Amino acid sequence: MWDTVDGMPVWQGGKTDWAAAAQAAENCGAFRADCEEECVADDDVSCYNCRFRRWTRDSFVCMKERCL
Amino acid sequence: MNLFLCIDDTDDLDSIGTGELLENMRDAAAARGLGQGGFIVRYQLLIDETIPYTSHNSSMCCTFETHDRDALTAFCQSYLEANCAEGSDPGLCILTNNSGLDYTVLTAFGKRAQTEVVSKRDAYAAAAAFGSDVSLSEHGGTGIGVIGALAGAGLRAGRQEGRIKGKLHPLPGRPTMTAGEFAALYALSQLVDTNGQPVDPQRVLTFTEPTKAVFRDGMVTGVVCCENGVWKPLPKRKKEKQ
Ligand code: SF4
Protein backbone atom coordinates (compact mmCIF):
# COMPACT_ATOMS: atom_id res chain seq x y z
CA MET A 1 0.00 0.00 0.00
CA TRP A 2 3.01 2.31 -0.05
CA ASP A 3 4.94 4.07 -2.78
CA THR A 4 8.34 5.58 -2.20
CA VAL A 5 8.74 9.19 -3.28
CA ASP A 6 12.00 10.98 -2.51
CA GLY A 7 12.81 8.22 -0.07
CA MET A 8 9.60 8.69 1.92
CA PRO A 9 6.71 6.20 2.13
CA VAL A 10 3.59 7.67 0.51
CA TRP A 11 0.25 5.95 1.18
CA GLN A 12 -1.32 4.68 -2.05
CA GLY A 13 -4.83 4.52 -0.62
CA GLY A 14 -5.62 8.23 -0.74
CA LYS A 15 -7.67 9.71 2.09
CA THR A 16 -10.58 7.31 2.28
CA ASP A 17 -9.24 3.75 2.28
CA TRP A 18 -10.44 3.29 5.86
CA ALA A 19 -10.04 -0.46 6.19
CA ALA A 20 -6.55 -0.61 4.72
CA ALA A 21 -5.36 2.34 6.81
CA ALA A 22 -6.62 0.64 9.97
CA GLN A 23 -4.93 -2.60 8.98
CA ALA A 24 -1.65 -0.84 8.21
CA ALA A 25 -1.62 0.84 11.61
CA GLU A 26 -2.45 -2.45 13.39
CA ASN A 27 0.57 -4.01 11.69
CA CYS A 28 2.88 -1.07 12.24
CA GLY A 29 3.91 -0.99 15.90
CA ALA A 30 4.81 2.70 15.79
CA PHE A 31 1.26 4.07 15.72
CA ARG A 32 0.76 7.05 17.99
CA ALA A 33 -2.69 8.64 18.24
CA ASP A 34 -2.96 12.23 17.08
CA CYS A 35 -5.00 14.69 19.12
CA GLU A 36 -8.76 14.23 18.97
CA GLU A 37 -9.50 17.08 16.63
CA GLU A 38 -7.05 15.77 14.05
CA CYS A 39 -8.40 12.21 14.02
CA VAL A 40 -10.59 11.55 11.00
CA ALA A 41 -11.17 7.79 11.06
CA ASP A 42 -13.66 5.98 13.27
CA ASP A 43 -11.13 3.21 13.86
CA ASP A 44 -9.07 4.41 16.82
CA VAL A 45 -5.94 2.77 15.44
CA SER A 46 -5.51 3.89 11.85
CA CYS A 47 -2.75 5.58 9.87
CA TYR A 48 -5.32 8.32 9.28
CA ASN A 49 -5.32 9.05 13.02
CA CYS A 50 -1.57 8.75 13.55
CA ARG A 51 0.70 11.60 14.61
CA PHE A 52 3.32 10.42 12.17
CA ARG A 53 1.15 10.88 9.09
CA ARG A 54 1.69 14.14 7.33
CA TRP A 55 -1.13 14.98 4.95
CA THR A 56 -0.38 15.71 1.34
CA ARG A 57 -2.83 16.96 -1.24
CA ASP A 58 -4.04 13.48 -2.19
CA SER A 59 -2.89 11.20 0.62
CA PHE A 60 -0.23 11.23 3.38
CA VAL A 61 3.41 10.47 4.00
CA CYS A 62 4.52 8.38 6.97
CA MET A 63 7.19 10.33 8.87
CA LYS A 64 8.02 7.72 11.51
CA GLU A 65 11.48 6.99 10.11
CA ARG A 66 12.33 10.66 10.31
CA CYS A 67 10.79 11.26 13.72
CA LEU A 68 11.71 8.19 15.76
CA MET B 1 -16.71 42.99 24.90
CA ASN B 2 -16.57 39.86 22.79
CA LEU B 3 -13.35 38.69 21.16
CA PHE B 4 -12.07 35.94 18.92
CA LEU B 5 -8.99 34.18 20.29
CA CYS B 6 -7.07 32.17 17.74
CA ILE B 7 -3.77 30.31 18.04
CA ASP B 8 -1.61 28.20 15.77
CA ASP B 9 1.69 26.29 15.65
CA THR B 10 1.82 25.56 19.37
CA ASP B 11 2.51 21.82 19.23
CA ASP B 12 5.07 19.18 18.41
CA LEU B 13 4.85 15.41 18.03
CA ASP B 14 4.88 14.85 21.80
CA SER B 15 2.77 17.73 23.09
CA ILE B 16 -0.95 18.24 23.48
CA GLY B 17 -2.65 19.56 20.35
CA THR B 18 -3.37 23.19 19.60
CA GLY B 19 -7.08 22.67 20.24
CA GLU B 20 -6.49 21.29 23.72
CA LEU B 21 -4.05 24.10 24.48
CA LEU B 22 -6.66 26.69 23.47
CA GLU B 23 -9.26 24.90 25.57
CA ASN B 24 -6.91 24.97 28.58
CA MET B 25 -6.01 28.62 28.00
CA ARG B 26 -9.65 29.61 27.64
CA ASP B 27 -10.59 27.79 30.84
CA ALA B 28 -7.60 29.17 32.76
CA ALA B 29 -8.54 32.71 31.69
CA ALA B 30 -12.10 32.11 32.89
CA ALA B 31 -10.80 30.72 36.20
CA ARG B 32 -8.80 33.96 36.60
CA GLY B 33 -12.06 35.90 36.38
CA LEU B 34 -11.25 37.36 32.97
CA GLY B 35 -14.56 36.30 31.40
CA GLN B 36 -16.13 33.33 29.67
CA GLY B 37 -15.12 31.47 26.53
CA GLY B 38 -17.15 29.69 23.85
CA PHE B 39 -16.71 26.57 21.71
CA ILE B 40 -13.64 26.02 19.58
CA VAL B 41 -13.63 25.82 15.78
CA ARG B 42 -10.82 24.19 13.82
CA TYR B 43 -9.85 25.60 10.45
CA GLN B 44 -7.92 23.57 7.94
CA LEU B 45 -5.17 25.57 6.28
CA LEU B 46 -3.18 24.76 3.18
CA ILE B 47 -1.51 21.38 2.99
CA ASP B 48 1.70 21.95 1.08
CA GLU B 49 5.14 20.40 1.26
CA THR B 50 6.78 23.79 1.74
CA ILE B 51 4.79 24.65 4.88
CA PRO B 52 6.27 23.44 8.17
CA TYR B 53 3.64 21.65 10.25
CA THR B 54 3.50 18.59 12.47
CA SER B 55 0.88 16.05 11.42
CA HIS B 56 -1.65 18.61 10.16
CA ASN B 57 -1.92 22.32 9.43
CA SER B 58 -4.87 23.78 11.23
CA SER B 59 -5.64 26.65 13.56
CA MET B 60 -8.08 26.88 16.46
CA CYS B 61 -10.40 29.73 17.33
CA CYS B 62 -12.90 30.44 20.11
CA THR B 63 -14.88 33.44 21.25
CA PHE B 64 -14.33 35.03 24.65
CA GLU B 65 -16.52 37.53 26.48
CA THR B 66 -14.39 39.78 28.69
CA HIS B 67 -14.53 43.07 30.52
CA ASP B 68 -10.75 43.60 30.30
CA ARG B 69 -9.17 43.09 26.89
CA ASP B 70 -5.70 44.19 27.99
CA ALA B 71 -5.59 41.82 30.94
CA LEU B 72 -6.89 38.95 28.80
CA THR B 73 -4.31 39.66 26.11
CA ALA B 74 -1.47 39.71 28.64
CA PHE B 75 -2.76 36.50 30.21
CA CYS B 76 -2.97 34.67 26.86
CA GLN B 77 0.49 35.81 25.84
CA SER B 78 2.13 34.61 29.03
CA TYR B 79 0.08 31.39 28.94
CA LEU B 80 1.35 30.57 25.46
CA GLU B 81 4.94 31.31 26.42
CA ALA B 82 4.68 29.00 29.40
CA ASN B 83 2.74 26.18 27.76
CA CYS B 84 3.54 25.85 24.06
CA ALA B 85 5.79 22.99 23.00
CA GLU B 86 9.47 23.75 22.93
CA GLY B 87 10.58 24.27 19.35
CA SER B 88 7.10 25.27 18.17
CA ASP B 89 6.40 28.61 16.49
CA PRO B 90 3.27 29.89 18.26
CA GLY B 91 1.20 32.82 17.15
CA LEU B 92 -1.80 34.48 18.79
CA CYS B 93 -4.49 36.61 17.21
CA ILE B 94 -7.03 38.58 19.24
CA LEU B 95 -9.82 40.13 17.19
CA THR B 96 -12.89 42.11 18.23
CA ASN B 97 -16.12 40.19 17.62
CA ASN B 98 -18.65 42.80 16.63
CA SER B 99 -21.30 42.48 13.93
CA GLY B 100 -20.71 46.14 13.04
CA LEU B 101 -17.19 45.40 11.79
CA ASP B 102 -16.41 44.52 8.18
CA TYR B 103 -14.14 41.47 8.30
CA THR B 104 -13.73 41.14 4.53
CA VAL B 105 -9.99 41.75 4.49
CA LEU B 106 -9.33 39.20 7.24
CA THR B 107 -11.66 36.56 5.85
CA ALA B 108 -10.01 36.98 2.46
CA PHE B 109 -6.64 36.46 4.13
CA GLY B 110 -7.94 33.31 5.81
CA LYS B 111 -9.19 31.92 2.51
CA ARG B 112 -5.82 32.67 0.93
CA ALA B 113 -4.09 30.75 3.71
CA GLN B 114 -6.30 27.77 2.85
CA THR B 115 -5.33 27.76 -0.80
CA GLU B 116 -1.86 29.28 -1.22
CA VAL B 117 1.37 29.82 0.65
CA VAL B 118 1.28 33.13 2.52
CA SER B 119 3.99 34.82 4.55
CA LYS B 120 4.20 36.52 7.91
CA ARG B 121 4.56 39.78 6.03
CA ASP B 122 1.20 39.10 4.32
CA ALA B 123 -0.36 38.44 7.72
CA TYR B 124 0.91 41.67 9.24
CA ALA B 125 -0.19 43.61 6.14
CA ALA B 126 -3.73 42.19 6.39
CA ALA B 127 -3.86 42.95 10.12
CA ALA B 128 -2.64 46.51 9.52
CA ALA B 129 -5.26 47.00 6.81
CA PHE B 130 -7.96 45.93 9.28
CA GLY B 131 -6.82 48.33 12.00
CA SER B 132 -6.67 48.43 15.76
CA ASP B 133 -9.41 45.85 16.43
CA VAL B 134 -6.97 43.05 15.73
CA SER B 135 -3.64 42.22 17.36
CA LEU B 136 -1.03 39.64 16.42
CA SER B 137 1.79 38.38 18.61
CA GLU B 138 4.55 35.79 18.29
CA HIS B 139 5.53 33.59 21.21
CA GLY B 140 8.59 31.59 20.29
CA GLY B 141 10.52 30.00 17.47
CA THR B 142 9.95 31.67 14.14
CA GLY B 143 6.56 32.99 15.27
CA ILE B 144 5.15 31.81 11.98
CA GLY B 145 2.00 30.74 13.83
CA VAL B 146 0.71 34.31 13.45
CA ILE B 147 -0.24 33.37 9.89
CA GLY B 148 -2.61 30.59 10.95
CA ALA B 149 -3.79 32.57 13.96
CA LEU B 150 -4.88 35.50 11.80
CA ALA B 151 -6.29 33.18 9.15
CA GLY B 152 -8.38 31.26 11.69
CA ALA B 153 -9.73 34.43 13.30
CA GLY B 154 -10.60 35.87 9.89
CA LEU B 155 -12.37 32.69 8.83
CA ARG B 156 -14.32 32.49 12.07
CA ALA B 157 -15.29 36.16 11.91
CA GLY B 158 -16.41 35.59 8.32
CA ARG B 159 -18.58 32.65 9.49
CA GLN B 160 -16.67 30.19 7.32
CA GLU B 161 -17.21 26.50 7.87
CA GLY B 162 -14.96 24.59 10.26
CA ARG B 163 -15.15 21.58 12.56
CA ILE B 164 -16.11 22.12 16.18
CA LYS B 165 -13.69 20.60 18.67
CA GLY B 166 -15.02 17.63 20.62
CA LYS B 167 -17.37 14.78 19.84
CA LEU B 168 -21.08 14.30 20.46
CA HIS B 169 -21.53 10.93 22.14
CA PRO B 170 -24.68 8.79 22.06
CA LEU B 171 -26.61 8.55 25.30
CA PRO B 172 -26.53 5.12 26.95
CA GLY B 173 -29.80 3.30 26.51
CA ARG B 174 -31.14 5.80 23.99
CA PRO B 175 -30.24 4.58 20.50
CA THR B 176 -33.08 6.42 18.77
CA MET B 177 -34.55 9.89 19.04
CA THR B 178 -36.19 12.39 16.75
CA ALA B 179 -34.06 14.93 14.91
CA GLY B 180 -35.67 17.67 16.99
CA GLU B 181 -34.74 15.92 20.23
CA PHE B 182 -31.20 15.35 18.98
CA ALA B 183 -30.76 19.04 18.14
CA ALA B 184 -32.14 20.13 21.51
CA LEU B 185 -30.09 17.62 23.54
CA TYR B 186 -26.81 18.61 21.92
CA ALA B 187 -27.53 22.36 21.65
CA LEU B 188 -27.41 22.35 17.84
CA SER B 189 -28.74 25.48 16.17
CA GLN B 190 -29.49 23.68 12.92
CA LEU B 191 -29.59 20.14 11.58
CA VAL B 192 -28.98 19.41 7.92
CA ASP B 193 -28.50 16.37 5.70
CA THR B 194 -25.39 15.71 3.63
CA ASN B 195 -26.86 17.84 0.83
CA GLY B 196 -27.21 20.75 3.23
CA GLN B 197 -31.00 20.50 3.35
CA PRO B 198 -32.87 21.03 6.64
CA VAL B 199 -34.00 17.84 8.37
CA ASP B 200 -37.59 17.28 9.47
CA PRO B 201 -37.56 17.53 13.29
CA GLN B 202 -39.88 14.51 13.45
CA ARG B 203 -37.48 12.26 11.53
CA VAL B 204 -36.28 9.40 13.72
CA LEU B 205 -32.48 9.10 14.02
CA THR B 206 -30.44 6.12 15.13
CA PHE B 207 -27.57 7.49 17.20
CA THR B 208 -25.06 4.82 18.19
CA GLU B 209 -21.70 6.17 16.98
CA PRO B 210 -20.06 9.46 18.04
CA THR B 211 -20.40 12.37 15.66
CA LYS B 212 -19.05 15.89 15.39
CA ALA B 213 -20.78 19.22 15.02
CA VAL B 214 -19.62 21.73 12.45
CA PHE B 215 -19.67 25.52 12.42
CA ARG B 216 -21.72 26.43 9.35
CA ASP B 217 -23.57 29.63 8.47
CA GLY B 218 -22.36 30.97 11.82
CA MET B 219 -24.24 28.24 13.69
CA VAL B 220 -23.48 25.04 15.57
CA THR B 221 -24.69 22.52 13.03
CA GLY B 222 -25.36 18.80 13.12
CA VAL B 223 -25.16 16.74 9.94
CA VAL B 224 -27.16 13.56 9.40
CA CYS B 225 -27.03 10.96 6.65
CA CYS B 226 -29.19 8.11 5.41
CA GLU B 227 -27.55 4.68 5.18
CA ASN B 228 -29.60 1.73 3.97
CA GLY B 229 -32.77 3.60 4.86
CA VAL B 230 -31.56 4.41 8.40
CA TRP B 231 -31.09 8.08 9.30
CA LYS B 232 -28.24 8.84 11.67
CA PRO B 233 -25.77 11.56 12.70
CA LEU B 234 -22.86 11.49 10.29
CA PRO B 235 -20.14 9.18 11.57
CA LYS B 236 -16.61 10.55 11.21
CA ARG B 237 -15.56 8.29 8.38
CA LYS B 238 -18.37 9.55 6.19
CA LYS B 239 -16.77 12.97 6.20
CA GLU B 240 -14.29 13.87 3.60
CA LYS B 241 -10.82 14.32 5.06
CA GLN B 242 -10.65 17.92 6.33
S1 SF4 C 1 1.30 6.55 9.73
FE2 SF4 C 1 1.64 5.85 11.83
S3 SF4 C 1 0.55 3.90 11.95
FE4 SF4 C 1 0.77 4.38 9.79
S5 SF4 C 1 2.64 3.34 9.16
FE6 SF4 C 1 3.21 5.44 9.76
S7 SF4 C 1 3.76 5.30 11.94
FE8 SF4 C 1 2.67 3.45 11.41
CA B145 to each of CA B6, B8, B90: distance values in angstroms, whole numbers, following the listed order: 10, 5, 5
Domain ranges of chain A: 2-67
**Residues written for chain B:** 242
Report pTM. Answer: 0.92
The pLDDT value recorded for residue B51 is 72
Chain B residues 122-141 within an 8 A CB cutoff of chain A? none
Interchain CB distance below 8 Å, B237 and A36: no
Confidence tier at B34 by pLDDT (50, 70, 90): very high
ipTM of the complex: 0.84
Predicted local distance difference test score (pLDDT) of residue B12: 84
CATH 3.30.70.2200 domain locations along chain B: 2-164
Confidence band (pLDDT; 50, 70, 90) for B235? confident
Which pLDDT tens digit goes with each residue over B86-139?
A: 989 999 999 999 999 999 999 999 999 999 999 999 999 999 999 999 999 999
- Selection from B119, B152, B110 nearest residue B52 by Cα: B119
Which residues in chain A have their CB less than 8 angstroms from residue B20's CB? 35-36
The C-alpha atoms of residue A10 and residue B177 are separated, in whole angstroms, by 42
pLDDT value at residue B237: 65
Q: What is the CATH number of domain B2-164?
A: 3.30.70.2200
